[in-house]
Amino acid sequence: LTSSTPLLRTALGVAFFWMLASLAQMNVDTYGINELNLTQKDIGPLLGILVFGVALGSILAGVWSSGRIELGIVPLGAAGIVVTSLLLYFTGNSVIPGSESNSQLLYGLSLLWLFLLGVSSGLFDIPLETFLQHRSDVETRGSILAAANFLAFLFILIASFGFWVMQAKLEMTASQIFMVLGLLTIPVGIYIFKLLPNATIRFMVWLVSCTIYKLRVKGLKNLPPKGGALLVANHVSWLDGVFLILTSTRPVRMIAYSTYVQGPWVAWLTKMYNTIPINVEDGPKALMHSIKTARTAIENGELVCIFAEGKLTRSGYLQPFQSGLMKIIKGTGAPVIPVYIDELWGSIFSFHGGKFFWKKPRRWPYPVSIRFGKPILHPENEKHVRKVVQNLGVESANFRKTYQMIAPRLFLRKCKSQRFQQKVADSTGVELTGGKLLTGALMMRRLLNKYVLKQDEKMVGVLLPPSVGGSVVNASLAISGRVPINLNYTLSDSDINYCIREAGIKTVLTSSKFMEKKPIDMEANVVLVDELKLKATLVDKLISLFMAFIVPAWFIERIIGLTRVSSDDLSTVIFTSGSTGRPKGVMLTHHNIISNINSADDLLQLAPRDCILGILPFFHSFGYTIALWMPFARNMRSCFHFNPTDARTVGKMIEKYKVTLFTSTPTFLRHYLKRCTREQFQSLDIVITGAEKLPQSLAKEFEEKFGLFPTEGYGTTELSPVAAVNVPPTRQLDPTEVSAKPGTVGRPIPCVMAKTVDPDTKEDLPDGEEGLLFIKGPNVMKGYLNNPEKTAEVIFDGWYNTGDFATIDEEGFITITGRQTRFSKIGGEMVPHLRIEELITDIVSNPEEDEPEVQVAVTSVPDPKKGERLIVLHKPLQISVDEILKRLASENLPNLWMPSSDSFLEVETIPLLGTGKLDLAKIKQVACDAFAAEVTS
């Protein structure tokens, strides 16, 4: 035992505990009889509560240790012993003879102090006992424990002798003996803190942080138990390093900019934790010295951590990694341990909101997830490490579904927090506060359950335009645990009934007004919600009103069974527009929807002042997730208009409701550019386009007129829908951090990955090379309804094949170059329809046209010589085909990209879907019919 100083100190600490324990045990009887004037019968609980406290303190020490030896608990236990011993001294000296109330009060206080003394003693002892056993060699462990026990009994003997001296010779009272017990512990506690300052501070910070933050740690087993390693983590907040030190099972040396570790207290702490300062401003020699220090530490078997982005994120995006990490790890033979810190974006220590620290906490306790990945033994480069860290982000986002709230539960809470504020409105003049919206949803739920829907009826059709009424019906079904399926009313009756059969829909909810405008013969029970509302009784209204305004949200969700709805349960089924065939039912879970909302909130930094105008129908994934559920799950407002081409009403709505967030297509933007005024769009802060490429000329015209530059995003129904976005300039908080690039669709949203692959081999392609775009993240759909074969065709190991061709640059920005289905293989080369279509459209379009329409569509038909032949469908043109070909030739296109003069086909109209997109299946059919003879030959 004496050959190992740490073990000897530990054994002496354990012996000191036993000395205090025996001293307290002997003193309790005397304290009760002489100080508190108790009978022998009443003394028993005093000793019992002390022993119970030791047991509870021991359990608590085990829980706080979290599977490791946490010596930082010992000084806390010592401090508790000091405080409670002194409190017992003061309590014993506060007795008023003859006062029964005083005696009862002091008896109760004594029980409390003895209980806390026991808890403190358990916290003091257990880490020491554990350390003694864990650090002893197997061969000598028995001897060491025997020696430690000898010391413990020796100290117990000393305690007995000391108690006799203090009581019999020095005539000290029991209260004074407790004071001596506390005073004896002071130097011991100070000595332990002096030996273990970093462990003590680390534990105290962990204890405080656990009251403010809710830590979830995964993958700790991936930390090597011994030997050096480089931890590489993303950088979200000022507390990232603190959390890594707290959660690691071993000491971690952080690499930090020297400017951040200055000042007396900070310098003392960083020196204690062996922080490696780095200063790029001192030149390459100083930089190399820091790198060498880190390498040496790793070679000496230490853990070193670097935030490879080089700075805190200002946007929530994972920034490109710097090459310094490779200089540190290369040649050491040590592994890289990837780490992803999740959920801290938005905390007061992040740059969310454009500032650090001085903002109101969004949640308490604030959730923090830290995921340690598997060791990377031989990283290729910093990009390789970044991809692994990014993948951990995807895993972290998917892990959230085990505890995060789904959108319908958030809807209850946000309606209550905005119960007297406007929450939703539409162009018909209907306006509802959060309280009235929740009242309406709860009452509709009652009516549907009472008169319409069977208990086991999960899938319910909805045939309503984007409006307050449509939103209430969707919300009522969602909080009932049912699956609202908004049917695409632009489809034919045949296709609508196909969707009804596929989803197993028995009931479709619509309105009299809607059915008058668009009568549809549906193979389901049609319920008119405006007539159903008339069945509401006074009791229904009062119960709904009481629940919406009085009953807490947590109680409502338990009454209506919303807590039984899992994140993996379906939120909706959205049928695709059927541009290449029959509509496919895309199954989106609650986790898909809320993850997309979370990412949008992280990037756009939504605030209560925000209001979104929804012009896309709820059968569109963007209309469902972003226009409907995002404002329902956040403290913001929404308003709706059912006709996106009605530019005048759109302008009035934006002006009236001070809309800040607006999403549209470039085609619709042209309408607004001509018919809306700058004053109407003055409140707009964010304009994001999608569904088609945003011409930069249009973006500049829009900015010149309205003073706001529209950005472009990307998504598909299968991705819930948002996958990538350019953060608008108005929400870019730091101009030094690039968050948007014109001509691209932006970077993948947080916790989502993108890559390009070879269309034939499916092998990953390097940055800059064109290939098929694959997306991975929590936004990837559950699958296609009743079609596992089709699902397996597009989802591989969590990666979704978008069917789009794209390039990804070094900073992660995605440029869409075309659809896989919109390419022709001619002479062995891939020829993009979209590019040719854009060029011809620019040639034939008339910029003065008030209502620009689709003039051109490019498709292909089989060709016996080249495999495929390009066909250009066009409306009547103002210029000749020869002139078009002449101008195309001036673009220096490859010969294979040039359609022949006899491949132009004039049509009255270009086939379009109800959503305004090209009907590719019908376009191809028209071309095949027209060139049937040549195809057959």
What is the model's pLDDT at position 349? Answer: 77
Cβ atoms of 917 and 861 within 8 Å: the answer is no
The answer to whether 554 and 894 are in contact (CB under 8 A) is no
pLDDT of residue 361: 65
Which DSSP symbol is given to 916? S
Q: How much is the average pLDDT of 913-927?
A: 81
> Does residue 275 sit in helix, strand or coil?
coil
CB atoms within 10 A of CB 354: 12
Question: Residue 113 and residue 55: Cα distance in Å, rounded?
Answer: 15
Q: Is the pLDDT of residue 580 over 60?
A: no
The half-sphere exposure of 105 on its side-chain side, counting CA atoms within 13 A, is 8
Give tens-digit pLDDT for 828-843.
677 888 889 888 988 8
Which residue intervals of the chain bear CATH 1.20.1250.20? 5-195
pLDDT at 768 over 50: yes
Residues of the chain with CATH 3.40.1130.10: 214-402
pLDDT, greater one: 580 or 876: 876
- Dist CA 809 CA 2 (whole Å): 63
Prior bond of 721 cis (ω within 30°): yes
Cβ neighbours of residue 488 under 8 Å, at least 6 residues apart? Answer: 495, 496, 499, 575, 577, 583, 617, 619, 914, 915
Structure confidence by residue, pLDDT tens digits, 877-907:
889 999 999 999 888 777 888 999 999 999 9
At position 341, the amino acid (one-letter code) is: I
Which two three-digit tokens encode residue 534? Answer: 């008339």
Q: What is the pLDDT of residues 560-578, one digit of tens each?
A: 999 999 999 999 999 987 6
Q: Using one digit for the tens of pLDDT, what is the confidence trace for 745-766?
A: 999 999 999 999 998 899 999 9
pLDDT at 759: 87
* Average pLDDT of span 658-677: 91
Q: Tell me if 342 sits within 8 A of 217, measured CB to CB.
A: no
Rounded to the nearest 10 degrees, what angle do helices 407-417 and 590-604 cross at? 50
Write phi, then psi, for 484 (nearest 5 degrees): -75, 130
3-class secondary structure, 423 = strand
| Confidence tier at 66 by pLDDT (50, 70, 90) | confident
Strand runs (DSSP E) across 293-444, as ranges?
Answer: 303-307, 336-342, 366-372, 422-426, 431-433
Residue ranges of the chain that CATH labels 3.30.300.30: 827-936
- The answer on pLDDT for 434 being more than 60 is yes
Buried b (16+ CB within 10 A) or exposed e, 144-157: bbebbeebbeebbe
Tokens of 487: 């049917």
pLDDT at 828: 62
In this prediction, residues 350-362 reach a mean pLDDT of 68
User: Does residue 595 come out as left (phi exceeding 0), alpha (psi in the -120 to 50 range) or beta?
Assistant: alpha
pLDDT at site 532:
96
CATH number of 827-936: 3.30.300.30
What does the pLDDT look like over 184-237, one tens digit per residue?
Answer: 999 998 998 888 877 777 777 777 777 777 888 899 999 998 999 999 999 988
Say whether 332 sits in a helix, a strand or coil.
Answer: coil
Identity of the residue numbered 250:
R
pLDDT of residue 265: 64
Residue 98 half-sphere exposure, CB side, CA atoms within 13 Å?
Answer: 0
Residue in 752, 767, 742 with CA at minimum distance from that of residue 715 = 752
Q: What is the pLDDT of residue 852?
A: 61
* Fold (CATH) for 214-402: Glycerol-3-phosphate (1)-acyltransferase (3.40.1130)
CATH T-level fold of 433-565:
Rossmann fold (3.40.50)
Is residue 679 very low, low, confident or very high in pLDDT (cuts 50, 70, 90)? very high
Separation between Cα atoms, residue 604 and residue 374, nearest integer Å: 32
* Across 247-261, 393-407, 662-676, 820-834, least confident range: 820-834
Q: Which residue has the tokens 């240790």?
A: 65
pLDDT at 133 > cutoff 50: yes
Which of 82-86, 142-146, 208-212 has the weakest average pLDDT?
208-212
Superfamily name and number for 5-195? MFS general substrate transporter like domains (1.20.1250.20)
pLDDT of res. 722: 95
* Beta strands at 303-307 and 229-233: parallel, antiparallel or unpaired: parallel
Residue pLDDT, tens place only, 322-343: 888 999 998 888 999 999 999 8
Confidence of residue 672 (pLDDT cuts 50, 70, 90): very high
How many C-beta atoms surround the C-beta of residue 825 within 10 A?
13
Taking residues 783-794, what's their average pLDDT?
94
Q: Determine the Cα–Cα distance for residues 699 and 710; give it in Å rounded to an integer.
A: 6
Enumerate long-range contacts of 495-498, CB under 8 Å, 24 or more apart.
Answer: 495/578, 495/582, 495/583, 496/520, 496/522, 497/521, 497/522, 497/523, 498/582, 498/583
Cα 378 to Cα 329: distance, rounded to the nearest angstrom:
9
Q: Render pLDDT for 847-868 as a digit per residue (tens, 0 to 9).
A: 666 556 788 999 989 887 777 8
Distance CA 643, CA 621 (A): 17
> Is 542 within 8 Å of 551 (Cβ atoms)?
no
Residues 796-824: b if buried by 16+ CB within 10 A, e if exposed = eebbbbbbbbbbbeeebbbbbbbbeebbb
Four-point Cα dihedral 125, 130, 136, 142, nearest 10: 80
Return the DSSP state at 315. S
Question: Lowest mean pLDDT: which of 72-76, 436-440, 551-555, 715-719?
Answer: 72-76
Q: Is the dihedral of CA 296, 297, 303, 308 positive or negative?
A: negative
The tens digit of pLDDT for each residue in 239-287 reads 888 888 888 888 889 888 766 666 666 666 767 777 888 876 677 787 8
Percent of residues, the chain, with pLDDT higher than 70: 94
Chain segment 712-740, per-residue pLDDT in tens: 999 999 999 999 999 988 887 776 778 88
Q: How far is CA 787 from the centre of its chain?
A: 29
pLDDT of residue 783: 95
Least Cα distance to 551 among 560, 874, 614 occurs for 560
Residue with tokens 């619509």: 510
Count the Cβ atoms, other than its own, within 10 Å of residue 12: 17
pLDDT at 850: 54
Does residue 937 surpass a pLDDT of 50? no
pLDDT at 375 over 90: yes
Give the 3-state secondary structure of residue 826: strand
Angle at 292 between CA 305 and CA 279, to 5 degrees: 70
Average per-residue pLDDT for the chain:
88
Rg (CA), the chain: 35
Alpha-carbon separation of residue 841 from 160, 844, 869 (angstroms): 100, 5, 19
C-alpha distances (whole Å) from 690 to each of 595, 672, 715 are 20, 16, 8
d(CA 473, CA 527): 12
Cβ neighbours of residue 644 closer than 8 Å, sequence gap 6 or more = 615, 616, 650, 664, 665, 668
Euclidean distance between CA atoms 866 and 900, whole angstroms: 13
